[in-house]
């Protein structure tokens, strides 16, 4: 992919995010995380040179390879994929800026145990399966508030920073909106308990997500395709 194209994509994304956030409020700041699973290290570095600082990877192995190849850059790495139990120690060693896909209480307990053993801590988001889709990970909306509280109480090495969701997988905009509104309501209820990040919105639905209150979008294909 040539540099010109990457710059054009970047400009378009920044402008669209800017417009969407201003429709909410002048004070509503939205962070863009580039989901780099479609990108090689060269494209990531080019995007970094254009000013992008936060990148998200779905697989621990990819995060490891790309972050090590780009060690010379102060990139903020996010983990946004399903975490298998046998990869927990590897992820801890990579020390991501934010683990966005903590998708169950059981995983939290396991992660906390390994964090204790490694004398480490991790900032995480609780992933919510906001449209209750079988193919998706995450806690169901009605369990999310309690699960969040239980993780705060029982997992001292996990710092919960908020919630993450993937919008409903459908062309029906109202259903996608509903899944974002559901997630935002949970986020609002959790704000008194320290939630600061509401991560929702991808290439096809980030403007809608911002309109529903998202303050972190994860954009992949729009950057790299
Ligand atoms: C791939 C991915 C994204 C980005 O998706 P696009 O539709 O390519 O923008 C966002 N979040 C997660 C969890 C992903 O796996």
**What's the confidence (pLDDT) of residue 182?**
98
- Residues composing the chain: 225
Structure tokens that stand for 133 in this block: 């889709």
Q: How far is CA 82 from the centre of its chain?
A: 12
Structure tokens that stand for 215 in this block: 């303050």
* Per-residue pLDDT tens over the stretch 7-51: 999 999 999 999 999 999 999 999 999 999 999 999 999 999 999
By three-state DSSP, how is residue 199 classified? Answer: strand
Whether 128 contacts 168, CB under 8 Å? no
Using CA positions, which residue lies closest to atom 4 of ligand 1? 220
Residue of 220, 222, 225 best suited for mutating to test ligand 1, as the one with most atoms within 8 Å of CB: 220
Give kind and range of the element (H or E) at residue 27: none
Residue with structure tokens 């990579």?
A: 94
Q: Is the CB of 58 under 6 A from ligand 1?
A: yes
Q: Which CATH architecture has domain 3-219?
A: Alpha-Beta Barrel (3.20)
Question: Cα 3–42–17 angle (5° rounding)?
Answer: 60
Whether 151 contacts 158, CB under 8 Å? yes
Rounded to the nearest whole angstrom, what is the distance from the C-alpha of residue 57 to the centroid of ligand 1? 9
Q: Is the CB of 37 under 6 A from ligand 1?
A: yes
Rounded to the nearest whole angstrom, what is the distance from the C-alpha of residue 6 to the centroid of ligand 1? 17
**What's the confidence (pLDDT) of residue 225?**
84
Query: Domain locations in the chain?
Result: 3-219
pLDDT beyond 80 at 1: no
* Per-residue pLDDT tens over the stretch 156-203: 999 999 999 999 999 999 999 999 999 999 999 999 999 999 999 999
Q: Is the CB of 221 under 6 A from ligand 1?
A: yes
**What's the confidence (pLDDT) of residue 2?**
84
Q: For the whole prediction, is pTM greater than 0.75?
A: yes
């Amino acid at each position: 992919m040539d540099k010109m194209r990457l710059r054009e994509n970047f400009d378009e994304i920044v402008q669209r995010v800017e417009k969407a956030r201003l429709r909410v409020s002048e004070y509503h700041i939205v962070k863009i995380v580039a989901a780099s699973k479609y990108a090689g290290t060269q494209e990531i570095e080019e995007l970094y040179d254009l000013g992008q600082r936060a990148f998200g990877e779905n697989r621990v192995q990819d995060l490891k390879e790309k972050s090590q190849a780009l060690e010379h850059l102060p990139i903020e790495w996010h983990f946004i994929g399903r975490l298998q139990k046998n990869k927990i120690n590897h992820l801890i060693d990579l020390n991501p800026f934010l683990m966005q896909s903590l998708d169950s209480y059981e995983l939290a307990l396991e992660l906390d145990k390994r964090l204790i053993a490694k004398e480490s801590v991790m900032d995480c988001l609780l992933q919510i399966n906001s449209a209750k889709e079988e193919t998706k990970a995450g806690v169901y909306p009605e369990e999310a508030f309690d699960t969040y509280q239980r993780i705060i109480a029982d997992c001292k090495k996990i710092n919960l920073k908020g919630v993450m969701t993937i919008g409903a997988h459908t062309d029906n905009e109202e259903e996608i909106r509903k899944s974002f509104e559901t997630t935002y309501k949970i986020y609002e209820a959790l704000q008194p308990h320290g939630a600061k990040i509401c991560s929702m919105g991808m290439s096809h639905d980030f403007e809608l997500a911002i309109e529903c209150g998202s303050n972190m979008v994860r954009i992949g294909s729009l950057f790299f395709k």
